[in-house]
C-alpha cells in the first residue's frame, strides 16, 4: 500500500477513502510532532471481507430418517474472517480466520420431523444459512423367519428354525425365545432345530419372542409360526382304468386316482417310458394322460406328500395292441405304419393295406437311407460324382403292390367323364395293368384316388431297398421267374402274349413286397400307389425330380411309375 501524508488537528487525524485489498491489510502510521520531537509510530491490521462465509454441511443428510434420539452436525466453513455457527439462535461452534472443519455437534431430536437451520456469521456481519430436515421414528425390533414356511407339513415333532433379528437394537443386547426356551444367535441370525409340542398329528404353534435394547430404550418383537405334524403316508386309489391290468388299442391311457392325505398337496411320481411328477392339491383327484408304447407298458405311481411321507406305489399294467386284424401284431413296429391315413384300411393278408377309393392293394415302405444310382449303361458319360448319391427318406409311405389295372382305370374314366380306353386285343384282360397312359392322365388319376406320384428316390428305394448290392427288386443278376421271364416278350407266357396280371412273376418282388417293379413291357402305363402329398424334394436326390416320362409310356430306368401316399 502506498504511503501518504495528512495534517492532524487537536491531536486527531482522519483518513477517508483508504483502498484495501481482499484479506489482511497492514497499516503503518507515523506521527511527526510540530515541535520537532521524535516521531511516533503505530501498526494495525485491517481485514477486508466482502463475501459471506461458505458453509458445507456433511451431516446429517437432508431427509434423514432415524430412530436415534439425536444426530451429529458436521461440516466445513471457508471465510477470511472468524465465523460463528448458531443453531436455533445459540452459538454452537466457531471457526478461525481462513475457515476450517466444525463438529461433530450433537443435536437432540424429538419424535417426528425436525428442521435444523444453521446460521454462519463472519466478523463483518455477513451470514449464510443452511437447513436440513430430519425425521425421527420410534425405535423398533424386527423378527424375520425364513424357515419353516407358514403351515408347513413336517413328518416329525422337530422343525428347523432359521431367520434373523432386524431393527435398531444392538447385537449384543439381542435375545430370542421359542416357547420360552432360548435359541442361540450368531450375531443377529439364528438357525436352530427346535422341538414341537408332543401329541397326535395335527397343528402346532411356535411362539417366538425377540428382545433387545437401543439408545431409545428396550425393544421387543413377537411372532407365531404354525406347522402341521403329518406322519401318515398318502394313499392312492385307482378309479380309471377299472382294473390295474388292461389291454387297449389307444395310444394314450387316461388315468384317474383318488389321493387321500392330510397334507396340503401330494406329489405323485409317474414312471413309465418316461418319468415325471404331478402335484395334487389336497382334496383333488389325480388325472393323467400317459402315452403308451406298443406292447406291454408298466405304469408306476408313487405318492409322496409335502411332509416327505411316501405312500405305497400303485402299478398299472397296460398292453397296447395295434388296431386292425391279427396279422398286424405279428409285424414288427418298425415295419408298419404307426397310424393309417384316411382312405386306407387294413388288408386281409399280412402286410397288405387297401385304398378305399380305387381298391388298390398297398404295401408299406418305412423310412430309410440308401445309395441312389444312375443307370451307367444308359448314361456312360456321367462323371463319377453323379453316378450315385446318399439319400435319406425321413418318412414312410404306401406304394401299390401291383400296377393299376384296366378295370380300375376304366372306373376312373367313368366317374370323371373322361374318354374310356380303347378296346384292347382279346388277350389283354381287365386285370392286366393299364397301358398307354400319359403323365397328365396319371396325375389326374392320382388326384381322383387321393394319391400323388412318387419321387425318383421313393421309387428306387421301394424297388431295391437299402442294400447297395441289390441291382434288381429280386436281387442281383437275371433269373427265371424275374427279369429273365420278362425278356421272353415275344414268346407266350402261359396264356398271355403281352401284359400279364400283377404278381404273375413271383420272384419279381421288391424287399417291401411290391411286384413287377422291373416292368412287364415297354410302354406299360402307371402302377399307382397310395400316398399323401409330400414336398417334391422330400427324400429326392439332389438335381432330380419325379420323372414324368415314367407315366408317358416311354421306357425309363424304372419301366413304370407308381403313385404314392404318405401318412400325415
Q: What is the pLDDT of residues 103-154, one digit of tens each?
A: 899 999 888 999 999 999 988 888 999 999 999 988 889 999 999 888 888 8
Q: Residue 191: is its pLDDT beyond 50?
A: yes
Q: How many percent of the chain have pLDDT more than 90?
A: 39
Residue 479 has a pLDDT of 55
The more confidently predicted of residues 225 and 6 is: 225
Residue 9 has a pLDDT of 60
> Distance between terminal CA atoms of the chain?
109
Set of cell numbers at residue 422: 380303347
Residue 542 has a pLDDT of 26
Residue 164 has a pLDDT of 94
Q: Residue 163: is its pLDDT beyond 80?
A: yes
State how far the Cα of 2 lies from the Cα of 11, in Å rounded to an integer.
24
Q: Residue 410: is its pLDDT beyond 90?
A: yes
Instruction: Give the pLDDT band (50/70/90) at residue 255.
Output: very high
Task: Give the tens place of pLDDT for each residue, 342-376.
Answer: 999 999 999 999 999 999 999 999 999 998 876 55
Residue 496 has a pLDDT of 53
State how far the Cα of 252 lies from the Cα of 290, in Å rounded to an integer.
5
| Residue count of the chain | 568
Q: What is each CA distance from 223 to 80, 140, 141, 196, 211, in whole angstroms?
A: 60, 14, 12, 16, 12
Instruction: Give the pLDDT band (50/70/90) at residue 523.
Output: very low
The more confidently predicted of residues 19 and 57 is: 57
* SS3 at position 268: strand
DSSP state for residue 435 in the 8-state scheme: B
Its sign, for the CA torsion 479, 481, 487, 493, is positive
| Parallel, antiparallel or unpaired: strands 217-229 and 152-154 | parallel
Average pLDDT over residues 446-465: 87
Instruction: Give the pLDDT band (50/70/90) at residue 532.
Output: very low
Set of cell numbers at residue 156: 416329525
Residue 420 has a pLDDT of 87
Among candidates 396, 419, 401, 398, which has minimal Cα distance to 409? 419
Exposure string (b/e) for 546-561, b if CB count within 10 Å is 16 or more?
A: bbbebbbbeebbbbbb
State how far the Cα of 257 lies from the Cα of 242, in Å rounded to an integer.
10
Residue 72 has a pLDDT of 92
Residue 88: CB partners within 8 Å, gap ≥ 6? 117
Task: Give the tens place of pLDDT for each residue, 311-336.
Answer: 999 999 999 888 889 899 889 888 99
Q: Is 247 exposed, middle or buried (0-12, 13-18, 19+ CB in 10 A)?
A: exposed
Average pLDDT over residues 173-191: 92
459 HSE (CA, 13 A, CB side): 29
Q: Residue 220: is its pLDDT beyond 60?
A: yes
Contact 525, 435 (CB under 8 A): yes
- Say which range, 164-168, 462-466, 470-474, has the weakest mean pLDDT: 470-474
The more confidently predicted of residues 75 and 519 is: 75
State how far the Cα of 516 lies from the Cα of 329, in Å rounded to an integer.
28
In the predicted model, what is the mean pLDDT of the chain?
Answer: 81
Contact 203, 226 (CB under 8 A): yes
Helix (H) or strand (E) holding 499: none
Residue 488 has a pLDDT of 43
Q: Residue 557: is its pLDDT beyond 80?
A: no
Amino acid at each position: 500500500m502506498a504511503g501518504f501524508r495528512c495534517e492532524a488537528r487537536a491531536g486527531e487525524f482522519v483518513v477517508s477513502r483508504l483502498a484495501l485489498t481482499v484479506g489482511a491489510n497492514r497499516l503503518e502510521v507515523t506521527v511527526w510532532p510540530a515541535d520537532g520531537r521524535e516521531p511516533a509510530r503505530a501498526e494495525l491490521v485491517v481485514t477486508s471481507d466482502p463475501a459471506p462465509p461458505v458453509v458445507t454441511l456433511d451431516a446429517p443428510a437432508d431427509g434423514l430418517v432415524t430412530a436415534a434420539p439425536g444426530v451429529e452436525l458436521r461440516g466445513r466453513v471457508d471465510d477470511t474472517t472468524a465465523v460463528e455457527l448458531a443453531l436455533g439462535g445459540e452459538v454452537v461452534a466457531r471457526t478461525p480466520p481462513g475457515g476450517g472443519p466444525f463438529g461433530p455437534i450433537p443435536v437432540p431430536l424429538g419424535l417426528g420431523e425436525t428442521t435444523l437451520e444453521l446460521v454462519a456469521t463472519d466478523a463483518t456481519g455477513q451470514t449464510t444459512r443452511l437447513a436440513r430436515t430430519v425425521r425421527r421414528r420410534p425405535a423398533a425390533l424386527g423378527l424375520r423367519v425364513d424357515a419353516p414356511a407358514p403351515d408347513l407339513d413336517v413328518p416329525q415333532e422337530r422343525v428347523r428354525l432359521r431367520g434373523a433379528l432386524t431393527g435398531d437394537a444392538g447385537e449384543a443386547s439381542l435375545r430370542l425365545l421359542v416357547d420360552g426356551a432360548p435359541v442361540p444367535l450368531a450375531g443377529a441370525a439364528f438357525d436352530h432345530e427346535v422341538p414341537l409340542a408332543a401329541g397326535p398329528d395335527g397343528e402346532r404353534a411356535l411362539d417366538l419372542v425377540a428382545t433387545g435394547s437401543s439408545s431409545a430404550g428396550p425393544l421387543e418383537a413377537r411372532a407365531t409360526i404354525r406347522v402341521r405334524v403329518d406322519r401318515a403316508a398318502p394313499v392312492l386309489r385307482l378309479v380309471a382304468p377299472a382294473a390295474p391290468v388292461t389291454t387297449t388299442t389307444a395310444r394314450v391311457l387316461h388315468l384317474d386316482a383318488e389321493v387321500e392325505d392330510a397334507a396340503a398337496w401330494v406329489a405323485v411320481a409317474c414312471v413309465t417310458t418316461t418319468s415325471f411328477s404331478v402335484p395334487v392339491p389336497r382334496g383333488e383327484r389325480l388325472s393323467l394322460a400317459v402315452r403308451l408304447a406298443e406292447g406291454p407298458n408298466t405304469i408306476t405311481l408313487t405318492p409322496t406328500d409335502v411332509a416327505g411321507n411316501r405312500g405305497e406305489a400303485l402299478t398299472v399294467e397296460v398292453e397296447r395292441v395295434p388296431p386292425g386284424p391279427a396279422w398286424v401284431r405279428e409285424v414288427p413296429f418298425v415295419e408298419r405304419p404307426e397310424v393309417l391315413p384316411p382312405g386306407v384300411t387294413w388288408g386281409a393278408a399280412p402286410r397288405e393295406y387297401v385304398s378305399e377309393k380305387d381298391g388298390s392293394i398297398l404295401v408299406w415302405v418305412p423310412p430309410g437311407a440308401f445309395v441312389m444310382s444312375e443307370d451307367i449303361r444308359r448314361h456312360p458319360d456321367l462323371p463319377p460324382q453323379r453316378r450315385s448319391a446318399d439319400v435319406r427318406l425321413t418318412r414312410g409311405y404306401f406304394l401299390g403292390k401291383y400296377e393299376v389295372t384296366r378295370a380300375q382305370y376304366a372306373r376312373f374314366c367313368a366317374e370323371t367323364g373322361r374318354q374310356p380306353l380303347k378296346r384292347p386285343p382279346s388277350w389283354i384282360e381287365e386285370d392286366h395293368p393299364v397301358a398307354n397312359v400319359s403323365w397328365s392322365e396319371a396325375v389326374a388319376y392320382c388326384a381322383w384316388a387321393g394319391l400323388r406320384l412318387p419321387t425318383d428316390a421313393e421309387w428306387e428305394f421301394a424297388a431295391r431297398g437299402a442294400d447297395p448290392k441289390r441291382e434288381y427288386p429280386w436281387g442281383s443278376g437275371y433269373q427265371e421267374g424275374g427279369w429273365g421271364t420278362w425278356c421272353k416278350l415275344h414268346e407266350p407266357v402261359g396264356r398271355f402274349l403281352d401284359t400279364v396280371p400283377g404278381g404273375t412273376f413271383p420272384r419279381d418282388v421288391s424287399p417291401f413286397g411290391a411286384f413287377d417293379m422291373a416292368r412287364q413291357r415297354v410302354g406299360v402305363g402307371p402302377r399307382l400307389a397310395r400316398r399323401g402329398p409330400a414336398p417334391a424334394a422330400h427324400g429326392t436326390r439332389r438335381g432330380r425330380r419325379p420323372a414324368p416320362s415314367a407315366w408317358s409310356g416311354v421306357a425309363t430306368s424304372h419301366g413304370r411309375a407308381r403313385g404314392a401316399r404318405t401318412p400325415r
